[in-house]
């Protein structure tokens, strides 16, 4: 069969799956593997299907206005609020996590570092409803006191203004709670990234007589840049989607939208909106509105997550 003059390439690939058992196996696990795709697609399609009639009914005003008085509904305040809370959380959590991981990787003696690693991971495992419970009864009262002082001494700065005298249910408290939930996640990733700085680079900088600060600035942080950004974004995704802990400490207000007064009572969060209105949804249309809101929340977190993973994957490959 084979030609004497020119070599004929043999087919190697189809032999690999010619065995019937292998074929069944491959198909089964392939089917399982595509569950992820099916679920993601399903969420997009089915929630999107709820969003379409809502947008038709409300128009773009659903996304650009902020109110919840039938028949007018708009979630702009909630979308903005989710972002504002995430920013507050980031401002608190990112420096704290970075410093905590620097301590764990470069400063702490080994036994202490191991204990801290386990404690941080334990903290990441604490369910959000428990953190919400603690936030409501322990953190919130204390936080009100802090905010009063912030208003007293720093009230001339616009973000620390408070016109109502009410310091409960503020974006600051909610953002602080989110930060507490973000810190373990971001610290875990950051710690791993910093720990992976090649020892020969650290040796090189030690031999050159560097200080801790310059080693971090010129060696460890640039090397781990991708992983660090990815870790922060993963924490951000979590913060945007967090529902229950925020539910207990934030007062949902549609109008007026609280744009910058973080210690003023009242704010927004799409996730919390869904959970808080769900029980009292006065009919299938209101439910549909909440589903539409869920669709937009899903889109927001999906984008953040995808970007985060792209950054982590891309720089991961470069570093090797």
Partner 1 sequence: MSTAEYDEVAVQELESDFAIEAPVGQAEMETRDVSVWFGKRKVLEGVNIAFPRNTVTALIGPSGCGKSTFIRTLNRLHELIPSAALAGEVLYKGQDIYAPEIDPVHIRLNIGMVFQKPNPFPSMTIRGNVLSGLKLSGMKRSNHDDIVEETLTHAGLWNEVKDRLNHAAGDLSGGQQQRLVIARALAVQPDVLLMDEPCSALDPGSTLKIEETIRELSNDITIIIVTHNMQQAVRVADNTAFFLATDGNPGHVVEQGPTTDIFGNPQDQRTLDYVNGRFG
Partner 2 sequence: MSSTIVFDAETIPALTEQKPQTPWGRRTGKFRLVVVLAIVIPALIVGSLFMFSTLPGAVIMVAVYFPLQIIATVLAAISVRGTKSAGDAVIIVSAIGATIFSGIVLISLLWSIITKGIQAMSTAFIFQNNEYISPSTPLGYGGIGHAVLGTVLIVGISALIAVPLGVMTALYITEVRGRAVPYVRFFVQAMSGVPSVVAGLFILTVLILTGVLNNSAFAAGLAYSILMLPTVARTAEEVLKLVPEELRTGALALGSTRARVALRVVVPAAKTGIITAAILGVARVVGETAPLLLTALKNDKTVLNPFSEPISALPTYIFTNVAQPYPDAVLRAWGAALALMVIVAVLFTVTRVLSAKRPGK
Q: Which of residues 183-222 bind partner 2 (CB under 8 A)?
A: 183, 187, 211-214, 216
Q: Does 99 engage in binding with partner 2 (CB under 8 A)?
A: yes
User: Do 252 and 276 contact (CB within 8 A), yes or no?
Assistant: yes
Binding of partner 2 by 156 (CB under 8 A):
no
Q: DSSP alpha helices (H): ranges in the chain?
A: 13-16, 20-33, 35-58, 61-64, 76-102, 110-125, 128-134, 140-154, 171-195, 199-207, 212-215, 221-223, 225-241, 244-249, 270-278, 284-319
Region from 66-74, 197-205, 253-261, 303-311 binding partner 2, contact rule CB under 8 A: 303-311
- Residue 169 binding partner 2, by CB under 8 A: no
Beta pairing class for 72-75 and 66-69: antiparallel
Q: Could you tell me the sign of the dihedral formed by the alpha carbons of 203, 208, 212, 218, in that order? A: negative
**Does residue 52 bind partner 2 (CB under 8 A)?**
no
Nearer to partner 2, 243 or 265 (CB): 243
**Considering the complex, what minimum distance in angstroms separates the CB of residue 120 from partner 1?**
22
In the bound complex, what is the minimum distance in angstroms from residue 109's beta carbon to partner 1?
Answer: 8
> Among 66-74, 158-166, 253-261, 291-299, which window interacts with partner 2 (CB under 8 A)?
291-299
**Per CB under 8 A, does 134 bind partner 2?**
yes
Q: How far is CA 269 from each of CA 58, 66, 239, 256, rounded to the nearest angstrom?
A: 20, 12, 10, 14
Is 123 exposed, middle or buried, given 0-12, 13-18 or 19+ CB atoms closer than 10 A? middle
User: Is 121 one of the binding residues for partner 2 (CB under 8 A)?
Assistant: yes
First to last CA, the chain: 47
Widest Cα–Cα separation across the chain: 95
Taking CB under 8 A as the criterion, the residue among 62, 223, 248, 254 binding partner 2 is 248
One residue of 52, 91, 130, 204 binding partner 2 per CB under 8 A: 130
In the complex, the smallest distance separating the C-beta of residue 108 from partner 1, rounded to whole angstroms, is: 12
Size of the site for partner 2 (CB under 8 A): 91
Binding residues for partner 1, per CB under 8 A? 109-110, 198, 200-201, 203-211, 214-215, 218-219, 222-223
């Amino acid at each position: 069969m084979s030609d004497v003059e020119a070599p004929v390439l043999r087919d190697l690939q189809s032999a690999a799956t010619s065995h019937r058992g292998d074929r069944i196996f491959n198909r089964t696990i392939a089917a399982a593997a595509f569950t992820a795709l099916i679920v993601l697609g399903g969420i997009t399609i089915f929630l999107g299907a709820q969003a379409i009639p809502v947008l038709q009914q409300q128009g773009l005003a659903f996304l650009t206005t902020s109110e919840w008085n039938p028949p007018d509904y708009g979630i702009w305040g909630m979308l903005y609020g989710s972002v504002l809370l995430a920013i507050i959380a980031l401002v608190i959590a990112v420096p704290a996590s970075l410093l905590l991981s620097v301590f764990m990787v470069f400063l702490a003696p080994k036994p202490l570092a191991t204990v801290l690693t386990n404690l941080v991971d334990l903290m990441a495992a604490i369910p959000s409803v428990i953190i919400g419970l603690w936030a409501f009864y322990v953190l919130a009262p204390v936080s009100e006191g802090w905010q009063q002082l912030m208003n007293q001494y720093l009230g001339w700065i616009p973000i620390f203004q408070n016109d109502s005298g009410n310091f409960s249910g503020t974006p600051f408290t909610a953002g602080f709670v989110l930060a507490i939930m973000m810190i373990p996640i971001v610290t875990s990733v950051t710690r791993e990234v910093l720990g992976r700085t090649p020892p020969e680079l650290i040796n090189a900088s030690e031999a050159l007589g560097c200080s801790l600060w310059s080693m971090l600035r010129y060696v460890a942080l640039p090397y781990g840049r991708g992983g660090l950004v990815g870790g922060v974004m993963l924490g951000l995704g979590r913060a945007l989607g967090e529902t229950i802990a925020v539910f207990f400490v934030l007062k949902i207000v549609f109008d007026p939208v609280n744009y910058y007064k973080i210690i003023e009572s009242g704010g927004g969060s799409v996730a919390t909106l869904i959970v808080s209105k769900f029980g009292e949804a006065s009919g299938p249309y209101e439910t549909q509105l909440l589903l539409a809101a869920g669709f937009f929340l899903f889109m927001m977190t999906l984008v953040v997550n995808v970007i985060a993973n792209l950054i982590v994957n891309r720089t991961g490959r470069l570093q090797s």
